Amino acid sequence: MRTILNVLALGLFVALPLAGCDGGDSSSGTAGHAGHGGHGGHGGTGGSAGSTGGQGGTGGAQMKVVNIEFEARVGDMAFDCANEYTGLGSTAVDAKITDFRVYVHDIALLVGGKSVPVALDQDGIWQLENLALLDFESGSGSCSNGTAELHTTIAGSVSEADLGGATPDGITFKVGVPFELNHNDVATAPSPLNLTALFWNWNGGYKFMRVDSLPAGAPMAFNLHLGSTGCQDDGNGGVSSCSKPNRPEIELTGKDPLSTKIVVDYAAIVATTDLSQDQGGAPGCMSGPTDPECTTTFEKLGLDLATGAPAAGQETFRWVAP
């Protein structure tokens, strides 16, 4: 059972810059560490771990329990907070990684070109509605501002009738938090949306992906914080739209996602980026539409920096090598 800590007051966030102007976003993760303690405070909400049919709409259909495994890697090496990684980026620098967390949603299996939605288990901690948080950091080593709990396997169920007795041969999912969940009050949001370390502010919403690194010899950290930008106040305390949604849409084919791990590769994200110096904007890429580092990282994530729309050619997610 997780220890319940006090979630930081929302007043902490109103002074933060809007997403896309995230230069003031600290890489220390102090606020997020306390927020992750609050994460445990919501552990009693929703169903118990291992329950199925979380998204509803399945009626009396026969359901098949599924587990989809993800693994964080840095090139060919499994990610571990204790390691330093060599040869990263366009200038082959060495770096330690201090955070590695990703939100994903709208997961579906592919069966002969047909999309079969996965109804996520509602475990009250990691999975909410159609959203799941993948947490690869262990709170140890270079990840001292994180927590010991990991979440690398998404649990859910699919309709047996929709599978039709066939073996899945691919998967689709989106990186990020759905718009309808992205602009709420982090202080009262259910887990896994109560993490202050993964939140910008009510306008910008959540950091869909947070992977921070400390390049050796560099003057500052290289922070990758992916999230929506250009979000408009609707005049009633909410957000009407975001001009740059920045939610990559991932499709992997040719293997069974129920028996093959999906890799999230940090080395691929920064392969054409110089981690040794910052060319302008926030340290690293914090989704600013004019940030030079975002030009190269967005390409690897499968995003058009100018529009925030999904684009072809993502290299971040792949099947694990045999």
pLDDT band at residue 59 using 50, 70 and 90 as cut-offs? low
Q: What is the DSSP letter of 151?
A: B
pLDDT of residue 37: 38
The pTM (predicted TM-score) of the whole model is 0.84
Cα–Cα distance for residue pair 297/320, rounded to 1 Å: 21
Which tens digits make up the pLDDT trace of 177-230? 999 999 989 999 999 999 999 999 888 999 999 999 999 988 889 999 999 999
Annotated domain spans of the chain: 10-319
Band of the pLDDT at 60, cuts 50, 70, 90? low
Tokens of residue 320, six digits: 């694990």
With cut-offs at 50, 70 and 90, classify the pLDDT of residue 144.
confident
Phi, psi of 109 (to 5 degrees): -85, 150
Distances (CA, A) of 316 to 9, 46, 109, 193: 34, 31, 19, 23
Residue-wise pLDDT tens digits, 263-303: 999 999 999 999 998 888 889 999 999 999 999 999 999 99
Return mean pLDDT, the chain.
85
- Is the predicted pLDDT of residue 33 greater than 60, yes or no? no
Nearest residue to 96 via CA among 227, 193, 214:
214
Neighbouring residues of 17: CB distance < 8 A, sequence distance ≥ 6:
23, 24, 25
Where do the DSSP E strands lie in 91-248?
93-111, 114-117, 119-120, 127-128, 131-135, 153-159, 170-175, 199-201, 205-206, 209-215, 222-226, 229-233, 239-244
Model confidence at 5: pLDDT above 60? no
Distance, CA of 121 to CA of 154 (rounded, Å): 8
